[in-house]
Amino acid sequence: MRLLLLAAPGGGKGTQGERLASHFGVQHISSGDVLRAAARADTPAGREVASYQKSGDLVPDQIVLALLIPVVVGAAERGGYILDGFPRTVPQAIQAFDVARQLDVTLDATVYLYVPEPVLMERLLARARADDSAEVIWHRLQVFTETTSPLIDYYRDRGILVEVDGNQAPESITAEVISRLSGR
- Chain positions contacting ligand AMP, by CB under 6 A: 9, 31-32, 35, 52-53, 56-59, 64, 85-86, 88, 92, 140
Smallest distance, Å, CB 76 to ligand AMP?
A: 17
CB nearer to ligand AMP: pick between 119 and 175: 119
Tell me how many degrees the CA angle 9-13-18 measures, rounded to the nearest 5: 145
* SS3 track for 9-68: CCCCHHHHHHHHHHHHCCEEEEHHHHHHHHHCCCCHHHHHHHHHHHHCCCCCHHHHHHHH
CB 182, min distance to ligand AMP, A: 27
Q: Are strands 109-114 and 2-6 parallel, antiparallel or unpaired?
A: parallel
Amino acid at position 99, single letter: V
Residue 133 vs 175, nearer CB to ligand AMP: 133
Q: How far is the CB of 63 from ligand AMP (least distance, A)?
A: 8
**Considering the complex, what minimum distance in angstroms separates the CB of residue 176 from ligand AMP?**
22
| Nearer to ligand AMP among residue 141 and residue 161 (C-beta) | 141
Report the residue number, 2 or 88, with the smaller CB distance to ligand AMP: 88
Alpha carbons 184 and 40: distance in angstroms, whole number: 41
